[in-house]
Chain A
Amino acid sequence: MNPTETATDKSKTSDNNSSTSRNNDTPSLIDHRPEDDDTPTTSRQSDDTPPSSANGCAIALDCVQRAYGTTIAVRDLTLSIPRGELFAFLGPNGAGKTTTIKMIVGLLRPGRGSVHVCGHDMNADGLAAKAQLAYVPDQPFLYEKLTGREFLYFVAEMYGISCEDRDARLAQLIRRLDIGSFLDELSEGYSHGMKQKVVLASALLHNPSVLVIDEPMVGLDPRGIRAVKNLFQEHTGAGDTVFMSTHTLDIAEAVADRIGIIHHGELIAVGTLAELRAKAQREHSLEEIFLQLTEPDDG
């Protein structure tokens, strides 16, 4: 995929994939299976196979539910994200985005259902799943008393990357993310944006099959945002997957292949921007669709 593709180029239809929530009370932008069908997915690609299998799905959530005490944070979430897709995950504050992400990366276990990453069950085979993914949280972590370069070397060694490969890959990332000027300073002095860039570099260093990233553009300057967009598109173009949670709807609209909207723990809409518009039967912007779908409950 050409990284300079425009936003409208991304409004392509996913012919071989889709996802759904099994909850029939959710708004109509979701494709629903017939009520008598008990199979846990409606993925077009896999109408006859569950999404949790390894057949091409980078991320597969199957009837996932997670509660905190009596509060259900995520309810019956079924979602398949194929390889090579850039998926934007949207939702109001407290909708269940972070809980979903934590279940995908193995920090939380679903109370019900299963999470598969590249065909590996995160609960039963977590190590194999984690070997395939990289996670960048909204508060990027760096060892404060290490330089950015030392941290990147550490990550490279953790993923078993040879010195030659590491140096070659690092040279690319340094150039693309423009981090060379501060990479040899202790990271305790970095700004949020600098930390974000180094953490992104560390996440991409081992070419993960799945990149899960929470609010990727916060703190980045416009040049950094462009660089990250391009990197994401190249990453998905190479057949890898990016799962991005964000509140920046412009970014989602510009780069996402598909968009999912979660509200009160339920996936209330998923599809390409064109599909969302078609189903809304109006030429809304993503912002208007989002606001319409996530209107606060009365009372």
Chain B
Amino acid sequence: MDDLPALYTRSRLGLLLRVKAQSYTNQIARALRDAPIRLMATGLLVALVWFGLYMMFRLVFDQFRRTPLEATVAIPLVFNFFFVAMLFMLAFSNAIITYSSLFGRTESTYLLTSPLTTLDVITLKYLEGLVIASWSLVVLGLPLMMALAHRATNSKLAVLSLNPPGNEWTFYVLFMAFFLAFIPIPAAIGLVMSWAAARFFPRRALRFSAVIAAVAVAAFIFRGVRLLRLDDTATESWIRSFLSRISFIESSFLPNYWVSKGIDHAMHGQLSESVLFLGVTIANALLLSWLAVRFVAKRFDTALERASTAGSRAPRRAQDSAAGLPGLVFFYLPGRLRLIAAKDLRTFFRDPMQWTQLVILFGLMVLYLTNMPTLTLQFSTRGWALVIPFLNLCAVSLILATFTCRFVFPLVSLEGRQLWMIGLLPVKRGHILIAKLAFAMTVCVLVGVSAMGLATWMLGLQPIWAAIHLLVTAAICFGLCGFSVGLGARLPMFQQTSMARIAGSLGGTTNLLASVALVTVILTGVGVATWRSRELSVNAWPDATSFAYCGGAAVAALLAGAIAMWIGARHFAKVEV
């Protein structure tokens, strides 16, 4: 490389970062110019979420103030668990973002054929993933910090007070510094994970990440359940045993320990100790980042080749019937609609992004449900016996809403490129929407009602309440699927091919808000009925008013879904692509 101009041998990371900054600036400027209301609505929503979290953290710290003994033990644990959770979340988030941007985008191809060093390209992608993935710290971390500072300035509790009083700004600066020093650590782990996924599992990188994430979370929950299963939760020995079992997260070799300790020292005005921990965190973050970037850059060629040239899988043999086995699931639909629904089901199972998320969400739900009866909590009273299934219903509803907004809403838009073909088929356009609804309903009912059925069975719920919960779950499935298919047809993005972008569009956001509102209305109805029945004897049936609340909730779900479908079908019949 003797004759290579110096220009090409020196790092041009600055240029790459400048062009990225320019790109984001243009994006914001365009959004401000073309869709200011949408931007404001998004900002407002983020502010609402942020404020909600802030209030929740304040309530938690309020609760601690009332129970000083528990607070003394719990506060350091809260921070430790918070940063352990962030370590996992950010590492996986970074791994997915970095994998997509390094191995799945044409930008990498472009940059790697340019006279740039691989080190520059990997560093750029590492920094990009770090910035994009750390939004969760901004959303979760800032309200935590503000709530802590607010409570600390008004607290006489040693563990929760700023010392000396009035050192809020030092605390804020150090708190932010700890956050900034912390995020490169999971980002470095995520970078190496993305490289490993491409290197060792090039065909199934997403499935690999999903399975690892599921195993990690399952192990975490399993351990948590085991902790709660200790015999008597009201004794000192329980507390000792509990603390001894979770002491592994307080290892001084873990980054959550450095950050938690550093923040604790910052709160108590022990600046030198706090700065020492900050130094340890920064040093480790820099070293890990340097090692990760160098390691991946040196071995990147092999991973890129494996990711881009992994041998094709065994060819799939087409079945004689176009609907094939998936068509059997939709036996109740007439011929052509069955074909469309079967095509969607086949696509669903061949896209790991879709089915793994559903499996993870409901897998965790099943794990929790099957462990529920083994916990030593006192559920024998009537109130708890109804409250727990109601909370299960809330969880299942929210998971279903997440699934329909993310994966069902984009279905109609994704047909955009093929609409010329579908438009020529001898099928009414409205029937296409019915096929989409049937597909979505089938998946949601199978998964949602099964999970609720398992929950009611494990809890030994009274048959009438079990029936109410199962019927309401089915109605929620219809309402959510109707919303997502109907609004997907009313507010489509036919030119977009990315499911995530369609789900994140204005239409997708509208659908998300509508779905959350629908779930809230339905759960309010069931919640009131649950509250009214708390004093009744165990075997008594709910009164007529409670029945009316539950029935009303179910009817509201059915009506909402049907109206959304009607609106969508009217628009879809006239739409031009």
* Interface residues of A, Cβ cutoff 8 Å to B: 68-71, 105-109, 125, 127-128, 130-131, 133, 135, 137, 139, 141, 143-147, 150, 154, 157-160, 186
Compute how far the CA of A6 lies from the CA of B181 in the bound complex, rounded to whole angstroms: 64
Identify the closest chain A residue to B112 (Cβ). Answer: A107
- Residue on B with the closest CB to A146? B23
Partner of A139, one of B12, B106, B309, B310: B106
| A106 engages B113 (CB within 8 Å) | yes
Assuming the A-B contacts A71-B311, A127-B4, are A143 and B113 also in contact, with contact meaning beta carbons closer than 8 angstroms in the complex?
A: no
Some 16 contacts from A to B, beta carbons below 8 A apart, are A68-B312, A70-B311, A106-B113, A107-B308, A109-B305, A125-B1, A128-B4, A130-B114, A137-B106, A137-B110, A141-B109, A145-B23, A146-B19, A146-B23, A146-B26, A158-B114
Q: Which residue of B lies closest to A71 (CB)?
A: B311
In the A-B complex, list the 10 residue pairs whose CB atoms are closest, starting with the nearest: A69-B311, A131-B115, A160-B7, A145-B23, A141-B106, A141-B110, A130-B115, A135-B113, A145-B27, A128-B4
- With a CB–CB cut-off of 8 A, which chain B residues contact A106? 112-113
Contact partner, A108, options B22, B27, B309, B312, Cβ 8 Å: B309
Most-contacted residue by chain B among A70, A131, A160 (CB, 10 A): A131
Chain B residues with CB below 8 A from A186, complex form: 26, 30
> Within 8 Å CB of B19, what residues of A?
143, 146, 150, 154
Decide if B117 is an interface residue (CB 8 Å cutoff): yes
Question: How far apart are the CA atoms of A145 and B27 in the complex, in Å?
Answer: 6
Known: A127-B4, A141-B110. Contact between A157 and B27, CB under 8 A?
no
Chain B residues within 8 Å of A, Cβ to Cβ = 1, 3-5, 7-9, 12, 15, 19, 22-24, 26-27, 30, 106-107, 109-110, 112-117, 301, 304-305, 308-312
Instruction: Please measure, in the bound complex, the distance between the C-alpha atom of A141 and the C-alpha atom of B27, giving whole angstroms.
Output: 18
Question: Within the complex, what minimum Cβ distance (angstroms) separates A99 from chain B?
Answer: 8
CB distance from B317 to the nearest CB of A (A): 19
Given contact pairs A127-B4, A128-B3, A157 touches B110 in the complex (Cβ within 8 A): no
Known: A108-B309, A157-B15, A158-B114. A131 touches B4 (CB 8 A): yes
Contacts of A69 in B (CB 8 A): 311
Residues of A within 8 Å of B26, CB to CB, are 145-147, 150, 186
Most A CB atoms within 10 A — which of B113, B114, B117?
B113
B115 near A150 (CB under 8 angstroms)?
no
- For B24, B110, B301, which residue has the most chain A Cβ atoms within 10 angstroms? B110
Given contacts A139-B106, A143-B19, A143-B107, 18 further A-B contacts (CB under 8 A): A68-B309, A105-B113, A106-B113, A107-B304, A107-B308, A127-B1, A127-B4, A127-B9, A128-B4, A130-B115, A137-B110, A145-B24, A146-B22, A146-B23, A150-B22, A154-B19, A158-B15, A158-B116
A127 touches B8 (CB 8 A): yes
B23 adjacent to A131 (CB under 8 Å): no
Cα-based distance from A290 to B30 in the complex (angstroms): 49
Report the minimal beta-carbon distance from A70 to chain B, rounded to whole angstroms.
8
Instruction: Specify which chain B residues have a CB less than 8 angstroms from the CB of A130 in the assembled complex.
Output: 113-115
Which of B7, B15, B109 is in CB contact (< 8 Å) with A107? B109
B19 nearest CB neighbor, chain A only: A154
CB distance from B314 to the nearest CB of A (A): 12
Beta-carbon contact of A131 and B311 below 8 Å: no
Separation of A69 and B373 alpha carbons in the complex (Å): 50
Give the residues in chain A near B305, CB-CB below 8 Å: 108-109
Minimum CB distance partner of A160 in chain B: B7
The distance from the CB of B299 to the nearest CB of chain A, in whole angstroms, is: 13
A127 near B117 with CB under 8 A, answer yes
Residues of chain A within 8 A (CB-CB) of B117 are 127
CA distance A193 to B115 in the complex (A): 26
A160: B residues at CB distance < 8 A: 5, 7
A145 contacts across to B, CB distance below 8 A = 23-24, 26-27, 30
In the complex, which residues of chain B have a beta carbon less than 8 angstroms from the beta carbon of A157?
Answer: 15
Chain A hits for B115, CB < 8 A: 127, 130-131, 158-159
With both chains docked as a complex, state the minimum distance between the C-beta of A218 and any C-beta of chain B, in angstroms. Answer: 15
Q: A131 and B15 in contact (CB under 8 A), knowing A107-B113, A137-B106, A150-B22? A: no
The CA of A158 and the CA of B10, in the complex, are separated in Å by: 11
Please state if B5 and A131 are interface contacts (CB–CB under 8 Å): yes
Given the known A-B contacts A145-B23, A154-B15, are A137 and B109 also in contact in the complex, defined by CB atoms under 8 Å? yes
Determine how close the nearest CB of chain B comes to the CB of A143; give it in whole angstroms.
Answer: 5
- CB B316 to nearest CB in A, in angstroms, measures 18
B113 — which chain A residues lie within 8 A by C-beta? Answer: 105-107, 130, 133, 135
A154 to B18, CA, bound (A): 9
Minimum CB–CB distance from B303 to chain A (whole Å) comes to 12
Bound: A147/B26 CA distance, A = 9
How far apart sit A159 and B4, CA to CA, in the bound complex (Å)? Answer: 12
Kindly state the separation between the CA atoms of A106 and B113 in the bound complex, as whole angstroms. 7
Complexed CA–CA distance, A147 and B311 (Å): 37
Decide if A143 touches B311 in the complex (CB within 8 Å). no
Nearest to A70 among chain B residues (CB) is B311
Chain A: CB-nearest residue to B311: A69
In the complex, what residues of A have CB within 8 A of residue B309's CB? 68, 108
B343 to chain A, nearest CB (A): 25
Q: Report the separation of the CA atoms of residues A222 and B12 in the bound assembly, to the nearest whole angstrom.
A: 38
CA of A109 to CA of B19, assembled, Å: 29
A143 and B107 CA atoms in complex are apart in Å by 8
Give chain B nearest CB distance to A196 CB in angstroms: 13
A154 CB contacts on chain B under 8 angstroms = 15, 19
Cα–Cα, bound, A147→B27 (Å): 11
Write out the residue numbers on chain B whose beta carbons fall within 8 Å of the beta carbon of A125.
1
User: In the complex, A68→B313 CA distance in Å?
Assistant: 12
Interchain CA distance A106-B308 in the complex, whole Å:
13
CA distance A150 to B15 in the complex (A): 12
Contacts of B3 in A (CB 8 A): 128
Output the least CB separation between B159 and chain A (Å).
47
| Chain A proximity of B494: nearest CB distance (Å) | 16
Chain A nearest CB, measured from B103 CB (Å)? 12
Q: Which residues of A contact B5 (CB under 8 A)?
A: 131, 160
Q: Which of B30, B112, B115, B308 has the largest number of chain A CB atoms within 10 A? A: B115
Chain A residues with Cβ below 8 Å from B106 are 137, 139, 141
> What's the Cα separation between A99 and B464 when bound, in Å?
65
Hey, which chain A residues are within 8 Å of B107, CB to CB?
A: 141, 143
In the complex, A130 Cα to B8 Cα: how many Å?
Answer: 10
In the complex, residue of chain A having the shortest beta-carbon distance to the beta carbon of B116: A158
Q: How far is the CA of A210 from the CA of B163 in the complex (A)?
A: 67
> What A residues does B112 contact at CB under 8 A?
106-107
CA separation between A177 and B547, bound complex, in Å? 72
Residues of A within 8 A of B308 (CB): 107-108
The reply to whether A143 and B23 form a contact with Cβ atoms under 8 Å apart is: yes
Determine the distance from Cα of A143 to Cα of B15 in the docked complex, in whole angstroms: 14
Question: Contacts of B110 on A, CB cut-off 8 Å?
Answer: 137, 141
Q: Distance in Å from the Cβ of A167 to the closest Cβ of chain B? A: 18
Chain B residues with Cβ under 8 A from A141's Cβ?
Answer: 106-107, 109-110
Contact of B8 among A71, A109, A131, A133 (CB under 8 A): A131
In the bound assembly, the distance between CA atoms of A159 and B113 in angstroms comes to 13
Report how far A108 CA is from B27 CA in the complex, Å: 33
Residue of B whose beta carbon sits closest to that of A140: B106
Among residues of B, the one whose C-beta sits closest to the C-beta of A132 is B115
Q: Choose among A68, A128, A150 the residue that contacts B1 (Cβ–Cβ < 8 A).
A: A128
